[in-house]
Amino acid sequence: MISSISNTSITAPLSKINISVIALPAALIIMSVIFSILDPVFFSGQNLITILHQSSIVGIMALAMTFVIITGGIDLSVGPVLAIAGVLCAWFLQISDDSVLIAIPATLSICFTIGAISGSFVAFIGLPAIVVTLATMSIVRGAGLLIAGPSLHLIREPESFLFIGSGLIGGIPVPVYIFVVLAAIAIFVQKKTTFGVLVSAVGDNHRATFLSGHNSNKIKIICYGLCALGAAIGGIIQASQVHTAAATYGAGIELDVIAAVVLGGASLMGGSGTIQRTIMGVLMIGIINNGLGILNVQIEMQLIAKGAIIICALLISQLDQRRSK
């Protein structure tokens, strides 16, 4: 009798173990060890800072994308929004006599509005998010090309703007600090605010949330607005970093952003996902990009590797969902 109880108490919890909880940290460690063995430069302090620096823009965008995916949606337009944010910021700097206090808030406001409009079509009309944001991606990219053309636009000043993307504080790039601060804010919002709770509720059961007296459509709209806002911040950082703006920037970056969130265990069906695990997904993407870059792997192979990783992450997530039923 005692033996029977013991076996039951041990096997029952094991059957409920979430594989993805263990898989992601283990994968981070394994990938780091492999790249360190293949090239010791990978594990140097300077390269670790480089990984964080290279991951900061994708990381900021992934923080905001997490909220959208938790609601059961997706936003494919973040690349063009990143590009047009840089273009708009450069234009506002030009017409405002290099006033950062005018250019950045104006750019962020416009981009938030773009996201909110996409969210409105998803929330009120019920159009599929993938279709709406695909259309938004095309419209925003086209608008950027109409405004700025395909050429690069130099941003030589002011120094306060260039410092956002190129500055160092204590030897660490400013974009890393921005990512860390926004990550802390996102974790607080998700864990400690009513909005964070409602985002998960909307993704888990939209109708039940609505019937309980909450404005679920408003939650969705805000999430898409925040997603565009994250892309805009990324675009401003990139424009400051490379001292140029172009309507062609950001092509394909949505792959890394969505991959980071999915790797973090967020379900594309909605209702699950955490900012903390998205950060781990961002680090995984950063490690893969940096490690393959150090090893001089062709960009085509890098894209194949990341695509394969997304599929593996989805398989693990689906297996967890089946085991939990």
Going from N- to C-terminal start, the domains of the chain cover: 27-320
Q: Which residues, in sequence order, are CB contacts of 201 under 8 Å at separation 6+? A: 208, 209, 214, 216
* pLDDT score at 293: 87
CA-closest candidate to residue 66, choices 322, 257, 237: 257
**pLDDT score for 24:** 76
pLDDT (tens digit, 0 to 9) for every residue of the chain, 325 residues total? 444 434 444 444 444 455 556 777 887 888 888 888 888 888 888 899 999 999 999 999 999 999 999 999 999 999 999 999 999 999 999 999 889 999 999 999 999 999 999 999 999 998 999 999 999 999 999 999 998 888 888 888 899 999 999 999 999 999 999 999 999 999 999 999 999 999 998 888 777 776 677 788 999 999 999 999 999 999 999 999 999 999 999 988 998 899 899 888 888 888 788 999 999 999 988 998 888 888 888 888 878 877 787 677 667 666 665 665 5
What is residue 192's predicted lDDT score, i.e. its pLDDT? 92
Residue type, 261: V
Q: What's the rounded Cα separation, in Å, for the pair 142 and 131?
A: 17
Among 124, 100, 83, 84, CA closest to 224: 124
Q: What is the CATH number of domain 27-320?
A: 1.10.3470
What is the per-residue pLDDT for 160? 92
Q: How remote is the C-alpha of 165 from its chain's centroid? A: 18
pTM over 0.95? The answer is: no
Q: Which residues contact 70 (CB under 8 A, 6 or more apart)?
A: 199, 200, 203, 223, 266, 270, 271, 272, 273
CA dihedral 145, 147, 151, 156 (to 10 degrees): -140
Sequential DSSP letters for 200-232: HHHHH-HHHHHHTT--HHHHHHHHHHHHHHHHH
